[in-house]
Amino acid sequence: MNLLQQLWRYRSYIRGGIGRDFSLRYKGSVLGASLVFLVPAFQISLYLLVFGNLLKGRLPGNASLHGYSIYLCTGILFWNFFTDVLQRSQTLFLDNANLLKKAAFPSSSLSMINLASASIHLGLALTILLLFLLSTSALPGWRGIGLLPVWLLMAALALSLGLCLAILQVFFRDIGALTTLGLQALFWATPIVYPASILPTWLVPWLLLNPLLAPVSAAQALLLSTDLPPLHTWGSTCLTTALAALLAVRLYRRHRADLLDHL
């Protein structure tokens, strides 16, 4: 409740920060803010054309011409959201060192700015993908509402892990490079470009340790109108999120004064 009160108190700063983030992200661009629509539209169109029409990729158990393309696009969109929030949260203290040293306000407002910016990009990209599904009469209907809890869970996971890494990176600058390597490994360990059904059975127990398995698979299932991942696959996601959140709070409370000194 204290956190929500702080976020409400600084809502004007958060709202202005979101606008500044978009301005800085597309500063100097000739196309400007239109890139928010053009980039995901181009990427999604490219995946649909290459994997659906040219390579004729097929998803096991799905006879649709664009089944694999939708599977791939959905996975990549949610992966991009997760990595965007995680990496921007990871550099939260280093990127805002001067602000944190000079002004007294909750750093959670900076996290909310990063989350809101990434969520807007995800929402626009999903809108473009849903328009394509509408044009092919493959719109998931009411099942699309299920994307909201998937987004919330992935946001909580990315913010929690990002805050842990942000605190550690102040003291150990190698964390950034190690995170990049870890994300590359995690991408290929997550069923995004391949369906989990093609993996050998001995890999399945290891796959269940991946905290992104359930939310990414759920998003893909919701847009493809297939069965959602079973309940036991969500254990790693919920456990990792809870442990990362507790660790982040503990690290921040214990090293808050040291953080400012190192910054």
pLDDT value of residue 210: 94
pLDDT range class, residue 183, cuts 50, 70, 90 = very high
| pLDDT tens per residue across span 8-28 | 777 787 888 888 877 777 666
| Amino acid letter for position 20 | R
Report whether 10 contacts 109 (CB < 8 A): yes
Q: Under 8 Å CB-to-CB from 96, ≥6 apart: which residues?
A: 107, 110
Chain mean position to CA 255? 27
Q: Token pair of 205, please?
A: 């127990």
Q: What is the pLDDT of residue 227?
A: 86
Is pTM beyond 0.85 here?
Answer: yes
* Per-residue pLDDT tens digits for 118-130: 999 899 999 999 8
* Mean pLDDT, the chain, whole residue set: 84
**Residue 77, pLDDT above cutoff 90:** yes
Distance separating alpha carbons of residues 176 and 184, to the nearest angstrom: 13
Looking at the 3D structure of the chain, how many domains does it have? Answer: 1
What range does the domain containing 74 cover? 2-262
d(CA 167, CA 256): 9
Nearest to 219 by CA among 59, 63, 34, 78: 78
